[in-house]
Structure 1
Amino acid sequence: MAPHVVVIPYPVQGHINPLIRLSEKLASQGIIITFVNTDFNHSRMMKARNARHGMLEDPSFNIRFVKVSDGLPFDFKRTSFSKGAFDALMTTMRASTEDLLQKLLTQSCEPPVSCVIGSSFLPWTFDVAKKFGLPFVPFWSQAVSVHVIYRYLSMIIDNGDFPPKKQGMIDYIPGLPPMQPEDLPSDIQSGDPSNIIHQLVVQQLPALKEATWIISNTVYELESQASDALKELSPLFGSIGPLIPSIYLEGEGKPQDFSIVSPRSLSLWAESNCLPWLDSKPERSVLYVSFGSLAQISKVQVHEIAIGLMESEQAFLWVNRPDLVSSEAETTTSTTDYNYDDILPEGFLEKTKDRGLLVPWSPQILVLSHPSVGGFFTHGGWNSTVESLSLGVPMLVFPQGVEQSTNRMLVVNQWKIGLRLDSCRDDAIIEGAEIARCVRALLKDEEMRKRSSEVRETIMKAVGEGGSSWKNTKDFVDYLVLLPTKKMDLSLESGLN
């Protein structure tokens, strides 16, 4: 009988993306997946998909969708980790998910549920699974190096580096190279135990310490020393990345057809078809600019970014979300009703119209795989980093919080396939001249491009038969197959069609 796994992501794009890719990977091995979305996110996904893909479910595939309440009204601004949103996810979403599992487990149907995979950033998923006697596998959504930092948080505190000392290297964390204080995650840099992100991390540590398996969207060869250090604490830590569609890792096969984006794409934003514009540009000439789905940047800084792109004289594709600047902006999935004039320098659009394109959202993997893209100006979120690594695109890393400074350290110092921006002002605003300098340097650096290609080759070997990610995935699937099962009713309507 096929295993049946319930997958519960933290309800933000950066957790949904890798977990739907993991679900696809497991489903291709015959495992039945029930994927849990919040009702609000489901509504956004369906609006974003419009008529291009239609319903989420694919009857021929082993993924079924259900939805639960996150406890917030639909007009609540979910653009940041606010206390209201955090409290609702930790209470109401937990209760509604528990009710869902209760209903599923008390009804009779085949195949029964055998396991829960949950984002480690929803620590209650461990308690809920345990309550029903279900094995729980936490999904760690960040780099292994970041995981090691948090597992040794008590060591950091004991060394007086929470917050870090103003001078001196952090050189005592097992498996990690010496780091500058600015390379630590932002919640450790602030030293504020009441920080919401810090609370999320601390609350998940008990489940991570008790879990039999932990799975992560990374590749062993990229973080081998950190991975080895972590296995001293969690022997069954599985690096099974990169969690991107396999077609992008098959030799030179890089799909360039907007119509073939995965029908199970769960984007919260409508994706603009920017591929024809990219087709018109020379190979490796375009800078792709995107700061993820959550980061919000001051209007002053966005203005400087625009100046930098303008002065660089390079072609660029800039994902400029409607809520990139103001947290008061209404959440929207429209690609046609956003006016950029309020946040950009006067004349910017006219001056760059022949070499620049601004869109509210993009099909990022398709963009990064396009031959005209030669560099990625990114916030350094882990999903974006993994996608760029997998597609051989050098990075200009501009961290906006959480663990992104650590990711920048890996990209720039460890793998040497990226650049960092330097602030010349006390208020940490990166000036346009510095951005222009780094953009030009990134697109012209042939050695960095060569190293990026080598990293891509390493990743392709890892996912190929016999590679580290291939083996870890096989071992994890074998673990799922051997688990005992609980009865579950699959006739429960998902409500997503």
Structure 2
Amino acid sequence: MIPIPAIGHLPPVFEFSKRLISQTNRLSVTIVLIRTPFAPEIESFSDSLAASDPRLAFVMLPDFRPDPNSTRIELFASVVAAQEGRVREVARGIVARSAGSGSGNPLLAGFVFDMFCSALMGTAAEFGVPAYVFSPPNATFLGFVFHVQKLHDEERVDTTEVGGELAVPCLTRSVPWWALPDVAVDKTWQAIMLEHTRRIRGAKGVLVNTFRELESHALDSMCGAQDDDVPPVYPVGPIVNLEVDDVAYDDDRTNEIFRWLDDQPDSSVVFLCFGTMGTFGEDQVREIAYGLEQSGHRFLWVLRRPPSDHEPKSNISTDYDDLIDILPEGFSDRTVEAGRVVGWAPQKAILAHKAIGGFVSHCGWNSILESLWFAVPIAAWPMYAEQQLNAFQLVVELELATEMKLSYRMKGENDMIVSASEIERGIRRLMEEGMEKRVKWEEMSEMARKTLMVSGSSFSSTGRFVRDFLG
């Protein structure tokens, strides 16, 4: 298993690897990890999982240090390109152990590459074993990129120049321009994604972090005759780390969060968290503060600042040094009983807490699945990557979530400002209205749990993958 060193892609690969070896004794898994300075959490992840099963192994490749001022696109490209020879060495080591075992059975059965590691897929052909792809994003995004690549290559349609709406087979409703993901509207990202998608078509199959009950239309659209070059798709999700009870609280601030939550009524707190890359400037921070205060609802708000001009572009956003300087005057005093503003919080443990009644989210796919698992309804506020498409799917296609601001997109200094009144209305819709959506959310949560049980759809799909993988 070869993931890219990105916080949204690592945990699903680790969790699926654990699930895979627990479901079958026919496989062991070696996860090849790329150590980089902008993903320091890699080693802590591997350390925590290494002792979980002797059939789960980790190989940490030598530290790769890209230019710290690289863009995110350049970082991904340079990191993966630098590892091809090292990945080949790891595979040779496995083959050598097989030859020395005397059993006559090959140890190397195949590769599973992250969708953004597709440039390494030729390694599998060198060793005569199958190459599969793992897609941490959902089936709708996968179907979307397949369709956009086909439009671009066969019909010469460039989505970076298309306005209005785009009809895609993976959704029943046309996607408005503002909901298209970055890979469709940004020329640089589009060129990279087109190359990845062309290579993914050559995989023996694609594992997707989703489940049939949630994305049946998207999955069926890829299995039909509309695009017969799409490889078999295996929905194996939801892949969520469920060990929330063992969260290590290593500071007083985190402990204080849970003491405060324990004192709040059930389902009374709205949780605002926008991912590791989701940040706001001071003007937007103040609008959020006013909107929260005016809504009258209890809140827990994770607030991070953008990297400053002198910090590396690869930096993960950090805490504001002094909240007093950016929050409205008197806000902290007026809301001392009603809410908490923090720089970090353990998201899964927060969502699992009985006091949480709603989640204002950037709609990263991992966050959506965690919110579904714990049956906490979402108000969608997408920011970048494929989040606009995820939010459109949740709010418009599936009618599961409420809208905060679907057309929002991070652009640096020119970020759109969502007003306090819009935020207040969004929070009220999430917390006070939408009982029908809350019921649907709870029903989908129950389906998510059932799909992983023996004979559940994702359990069966994982079994089918194992059978196909081993021939």
Identify whether the pair has TM-score above 0.5, normalized to the shorter chain: yes
Determine if the alignment matches structure 1 residue 89 to structure 2 residue 75.
no
Query: In the TM superposition, what is the alpha-carbon distance from 1:450 to its structure 2 partner?
Result: 1.1
How has the CA–CA distance of structure 1 residues 174 and 257 changed in structure 2, closer, same or farther, with 3 Å as cutoff?
closer
Determine if the alignment matches structure 1 residue 63 to structure 2 residue 56.
yes
Contact 2:201–2:231 (CA<8 Å) still a contact in 1?
A: no
Contact 1:70–1:88 (CA<8 Å) still a contact in 2?
A: no
Select 1:151's aligned residue among 146, 162, 165: 146
Contact 1:216–1:239 (CA<8 Å) still a contact in 2?
A: yes
Structure 1 runs not aligned, ≥5 long: 1-6, 248-254, 262-269, 484-497
Contact 1:302–1:325 (CA<8 Å) still a contact in 2?
A: no
TM-score, scaled to structure 1 = 0.80
Q: Output the CA distance in 2 between the equivalents of 1:305 and 1:413.
A: 24
Contact 1:239–1:469 (CA<8 Å) still a contact in 2?
A: yes
Q: Which amino acid aligns with 2:458?
A: S
Query: In the TM superposition, what is the alpha-carbon distance from 1:69 to its structure 2 partner?
Result: 3.7
Aligned residue pair count: 450
Contact 2:240–2:366 (CA<8 Å) still a contact in 1?
A: no
Select 1:456's aligned residue among 432, 445, 464: 445
How has the CA–CA distance of structure 1 residues 361 and 443 changed in structure 2, closer, same or farther, with 3 Å as cutoff?
same
Select 1:139's aligned residue among 134, 141, 147: 134
Query: In the TM superposition, what is the alpha-carbon distance from 1:148 to its structure 2 partner?
Result: 1.3
Select 1:416's aligned residue among 387, 399, 413: 399
Residue 71 of structure 1 aligns to a residue in which SS? coil
Determine if the alignment matches structure 1 residue 406 to structure 2 residue 372.
no
How has the CA–CA distance of structure 1 residues 399 and 333 changed in structure 2, closer, same or farther, with 3 Å as cutoff?
closer
Q: Which amino acid aligns with 1:113?
A: L
Residue 174 of structure 2 aligns to a residue in which SS? coil
Select 2:461's aligned residue among 469, 472, 476: 472
Residue 163 of structure 1 aligns to a residue in which SS? helix
Task: Give CA-to-partner distance per residue, 1:377-420, whole Å, 9 cap, x none.
Answer: 11111111111122211111111122111101111012222122
Q: Output the CA distance in 2 between the equivalents of 1:159 and 1:128.
A: 31
Quote the sequence identity (%).
27
Determine if the alignment matches structure 1 residue 374 to structure 2 residue 362.
no
Contact 2:307–2:316 (CA<8 Å) still a contact in 1?
A: no
Q: Output the CA distance in 2 between the equivalents of 1:400 and 1:347.
A: 29
TM-score, scaled to structure 2 = 0.84
Q: Output the CA distance in 2 between the equivalents of 1:151 and 1:271.
A: 45
**Cα-Cα RMSD:** 3.5
Partner of 2:426: 438
Structure 2 runs not aligned, ≥5 long: 409-413
Q: Output the CA distance in 2 between the equivalents of 1:432 and 1:208.
A: 43
Q: Output the CA distance in 2 between the equivalents of 1:258 and 1:146.
A: 31
Determine if the alignment matches structure 1 residue 238 to structure 2 residue 230.
no
Q: Bigger relative contact order, structure 1 or 2, given CA contacts below 8 A and separation 6+?
A: 1
How has the CA–CA distance of structure 1 residues 102 and 350 changed in structure 2, closer, same or farther, with 3 Å as cutoff?
farther
Select 2:333's aligned residue among 350, 360, 380: 350
Contact 2:149–2:197 (CA<8 Å) still a contact in 1?
A: no
Select 1:38's aligned residue among 34, 37, 48: 34
How has the CA–CA distance of structure 1 residues 129 and 160 changed in structure 2, closer, same or farther, with 3 Å as cutoff?
closer
Q: Which amino acid aligns with 2:353?
A: H
Q: Output the CA distance in 1 between the equivalents of 2:214 and 2:52.
A: 37
Residue 218 of structure 1 aligns to a residue in which SS? coil
Question: Where does 1:9-20 land on structure 2 (aligned, <5 Å)?
Answer: 9-20=3-14
